[in-house]
Amino acid sequence: MSSPIYLDHHAAAPLSEVARAAMDEVREQTWANPSSSHRLGRFSRRLREEARRKVAASIGAPPKDIVFTSGGTEACNLMVLGLVPKTGAFESLIALPFAHPAVARSAEEEKVREVFWLPGCPRDFVSVAALKKTLSEAPSPAALVLPWVDHETGSVVPLEEIGELARDAGAFLFIDATQAYGRVPIDVEALECDALVLASHKVGGPAGAGALWFRSERLELEGRTFGGGQEHGFRPGSPDVSALVGFGAAAAAIDERIGSMPQVANWKAQFRALLLRHGGVENGSEFRTPSALNVSLFAWRREDFVAALDLEGVCISAGAACSSGLVAESPIVAALYPEEPSRAQHAIRFSFGPERLDDQKVRSALTKIETVLKRA
């Protein structure tokens, strides 16, 4: 049986060759605990710190401000619930109720600060007008927690404008950059943000590794789990050093991955033209990443279309992988188009990346998709 054509890169990118090779090279040597003082432990520790330097360099950050986690979800939890200003505590938290559950559910669990929820906006994804009003009303200091790139529609948040608003209001800006990483250049020194989350498996690294960067001159981090002193006590537990090595290798190749985005955009344009020609309606804000295409196909139930393509050997998604099978409609599309509920009920996500995709596979996928679309 031929390999399926994978068009679900926002759920997870296939393991890149550079990450696979780096992990294979050290796999038999990274089982030792990096906290141990013997030579094998020191070797694992050296590999871990080399990975930290590579991840830090990929976003222009000092290694000391990178905290490794088990993935983007844990890093988002730690960002929302563990970071506090050096001057005291946050008085309020501002977030999107339809953000990735790693952020939205963390905000829901907040028991101390007052939480303010922002509405969606088809133009900017987050309503900038509502944000201005909320920043003026929310008790200070406030933590504003937003995605840079939405995981379902690929909508790009106007981060520069929002960063200026947060700075002028004296608020701290926390960014879930898991879907932006490897798709847009990131330089934390040039960003008006104070914390940022990354995930290895979104950029061709292995699952099970992520990172939280935070501006240590402004913020302190309080661990939310308890155990040993790993990651300076912020995130106790023995890490998977092999996964961190793969994460570091993928991070070191991040410029090459970003350089592939024009080709990815070309592929996306071909799928977009086909789907809109067959009655699809595109969802998302005015600016979208080249890696994601969210379209409502009104002639199809979401799960039926995904299943039909799966039988043809094409892998797509009806939404975020963490929520698949749990909801009958896309909560993000519903928030962007509250007066058009059918868009959320029929929304499908295609997402693209450089791993395991080429022009031949794109042509094959387009042919298979058109065959299925003609059945409606």
**Residues with catalytic function:** 322
Collapsed DSSP state (helix, strand, coil) of residue 12: coil
The pair of structure tokens assigned to 353 is 């990346």
Instruction: Give the gyration radius of the chain's Cα atoms.
Output: 21
CA distance 321 to 351: 12
The pair of structure tokens assigned to 48 is 């871990």
Instruction: Give 279: exposed, middle or buried? Use CB within 10 Å, 0-12, 13-18, 19+.
Output: middle
